Amino acid sequence: MKTYNTINLEKKTKISGYLKRWKSIIYTVLAALLSLIVLIPLYWVISTSLKDRAQVIENPLGPPVEFHWENYPEAWETGRFGPYFRNSVLITVPTVLGVLMFSFSAAFAFSILNFPFKEGLYVFFITGLTIPLGVLVVPLYYQMLDLKLLDTHWAIILPQIAVVIPFGIMLLRSFIQEIPSEILDAGRVDGCSNWLLLRHIVFPLSRSALLSLMVFEFMWSWNEFLLPVVLLQTERVRTLPLGLNFFHGRFSTNFPLLMAGAVISFLPVVIVYILFQRQFVRGITAGALK
Amino acid sequence: MDTRKVKALRETISAISFIFPALLMYAAFFIYPAANLIRLSLFKWDGLEPMVFVGAENYIQLFKDSIFWLAFRHNMFWVLGAVFVPVTFGLALAILLTRFPLHGKILFRTIYFLPQVLSSITVAIIWGWIYNPVYGALNQTLRMIGLDFLAHGWLGDRNFALPALFIAWSWIHYGFTMVIFIAALEGIDEVYFDAAKIDGANKFQQFRHILIPFIKRQLTTIIVITTIFSFQVFDLVYVLTNGGPNRASLVTPLYMLSSAFRYYKVGYGSAIAVALGVFILVLSVILMKLRNANKEAS
């Protein structure tokens, strides 16, 4: 009787083990099929970028018969992606640094120091979260015109920093507030000034939040389109998205060249995304739910 | 002065020095243009000639402007579509990735989320090609499976331009809703599901009575955020159709810009921006209330 029961149980667990494995295979296949929604368009882009124009017409959906790698240098040259790349870097780097420095030091004061009108000032900053940058492009255009900054990188950098400061302060403050006060008190007892406290205690402990903000801000600034399309006009200062749009207008039917240009411009963000996806996802989630 | 006062004063000065750079940037390049926007909306101005104060006239005109309401309706259509397509799809993917046994969860999440990081111009180029009437993948596929009669100039057709743009946008946006739903679902204690299983609840019942009630607040949050995003749609429309054909895909931000810069009605464009801004502000205040409710609940 006893043996019978054990055998039965073993059989049962074996069967449920098989069932589990099968189930997980079925769901994995389902997930793989769903990922085609992303992968097929990307496959089309990459395969088109390696064809010549005749192949695009004869065989638009299949893989390239022969590989035309020369489309890439050609797109890079005719599309002038070199200067566009440089402009995007020259705008994104100061924007990201500015956002990190300004919002970190303000968030430090809001979470650790005491001063009059603290709450009111914080609310003043947070109000900025309710206004999208897009509605401000008209006054920004005339402001930059007055400041003689129109058609320079500063016309993009300055408002881009300003608009993210509220989000940066909110995100970093909520993080810094979690630091146990004992650690800070220990620093104060040792005679740390506020500046040393920020530099040697709060900064190292906030690294992961700063990294999230950095990756989030990088992606956003790198891809920003509306602000540059209004505030930058000449070829000299054009960013990558603007340049790509211009390229799109010039070669709207030369699909291999166009797709090669698209790949060139999305490669850096995709690499950054794959390397830092955890931070990026955390930045987005914090932005939406905090 | 006693030492405590001196200390407080010193702390205040120190705090000001920490906040000042952020305050300066924020005031000069965010608050100032916002105030200036409201001022501009009260004037009639072509950008060159002296400005003429007209009070609320731009707003009265706006209220009667059928083109503005057309653009607004298109954004409303976008909101309704967004609540169904990217929100539902994002939730479905999040459930698949968190509640079902499968291999390579991180890999799939990475792939699903990928379109979210592409620039909107890249997405416009990809979808512009998919929708191309002659070489586009969509028409090619339709012809291949014998549905030639469905092949279309998608973006050039006034009935299809807006939905076609919306699909391209949804391809970006569902990744955003998905990661937020994943975070929300991972926060549910497994105990509740185990209890339900013991009580014999099937997957659908678990979904209906545990999963949805637990993420109700995040669901509302995402719907509000999606509404805010839907009212700011600009890049894809600008690049792919520029509001055409014959305004069939005109959206409010595009109308704002073309009023101010193409038709040289800066005051009127600003009034559109104020209307849009106020609408989004109201939605954002609702959102913040929800966030606070979230915090109190947790």
CATH code, domain with B104: 1.10.3720.10
Q: Inform me whether the C-beta atom of residue B33 falls under 8 Å from chain A C-beta atoms.
A: yes
Interface of A with B in 87-106 (CB under 8 A): 98, 101-103, 105-106
If asked whether residues B27 and B159 sit together in one domain, one would say: no
pLDDT surpassing 60 at residue A4: no
Residues forming beta bridges with residue B44, ordered by sequence position: B52
B19 and B84 share one domain: no
By percentage, how much of chain A surpasses pLDDT 70?
Answer: 94
B96 and B54 in one domain? Answer: yes
Neighbours of A194 (CB within 10 A): 21
- H or E element in which residue B234 lies: none
CB < 8 Å to B273, chain A: 135-138
Greatest mean pLDDT among A29-33, A176-180, B182-186 lies in A29-33
For residue A10, the model assigns a pLDDT of 63
User: pLDDT tens, A125-164?
Assistant: 988 888 888 899 999 999 999 999 999 999 999 999 999 9
Output the tens digit of pLDDT for each of chain B's 298 residues: 578 888 888 888 888 999 999 999 999 999 999 999 999 999 888 888 888 888 888 899 989 999 999 999 999 999 999 988 999 999 999 999 988 888 888 899 999 999 988 988 999 999 988 898 887 888 888 888 877 777 778 888 888 999 999 999 999 999 989 988 998 888 888 888 888 888 888 888 888 888 888 888 888 888 888 888 899 899 999 999 988 788 999 999 999 999 988 888 889 999 999 999 998 888 888 877 877 776 666 5
* Mean of pLDDT over chain A: 86
pLDDT score at B293 = 72
Is the CB of residue A143 less than 8 Å away from at least one CB of chain B?
yes
Q: Do B116 and B10 reside in the same domain of the chain?
A: no
Q: How many domains does chain B have?
A: 2
Is the per-residue pLDDT at A290 higher than 60? no
Alpha-carbon gap, residue B297 to A96, rounded angstroms? 34
Using the predicted structure, report yes or no on whether residue A96 has a pLDDT greater than 90. yes
CB A220, CB A62: distance < 8 Å: no
The set of long-range contacts for B238-243, using a CB threshold of 8 Å and a minimum separation of 24, is B238/A225, B238/A229, B239/A245, B239/A248, B239/B120, B239/B121, B239/B124, B239/B128, B240/B124, B240/B127, B240/B128, B240/B131, B240/B155, B240/B165, B240/B168, B241/B155, B241/B161, B241/B165
Could you tell me if B110 and A274 are in contact, meaning their C-beta atoms sit under 8 angstroms apart?
yes
Q: Are B13 and B47 found together in one domain?
A: no
Whether chain A has a CB inside 8 Å of the CB on B32: the answer is yes
CB A240 to CB B114 under 8 A? no
| Distance between B159 CA and the closest CA of chain A, angstroms | 23
For B223, counting Cβ atoms within 10 Å of its Cβ (0-12 exposed, 13-18 middle, 19+ buried), the class is middle
By residue range, what is the domain housing residue B26?
A: 1-33
Amino acid residing at A204: P
Residue A3 is predicted with a pLDDT of 52
The reply to whether B56 and B25 lie within a common domain is no
Residue A269 pLDDT greater than 50, yes or no:
yes
The ipTM (two decimal places) reads 0.86
Q: How confident is the model at residue A1 (pLDDT cuts 50, 70, 90)?
A: very low
Does B19 share its domain with B125? Answer: no
In this structure, are B24 and B50 located in the same domain?
A: no
Distance CA B116, CA A284 (A): 11
- Identify the pLDDT of residue B1: 56
> Are A198 and B96 within 8 A, CB to CB?
no
Q: Which residues of B touch A230 (CB under 8 A)?
A: 257, 261
Topology, domain A72-289: MetI-like fold (1.10.3720)
Provide mean pLDDT across the span A44-69: 83
- Give every CB contact of residue B235 below 8 A, 6+ residues apart in sequence: A225, A226, B120, B121, B124
Asked if B48 has any chain A CB less than 8 Å from its own CB, the reply is no
The pTM score is 0.87
Mean pLDDT of A186-215: 85
Containing B43, the helix (H) or strand (E) segment is strand B43-44
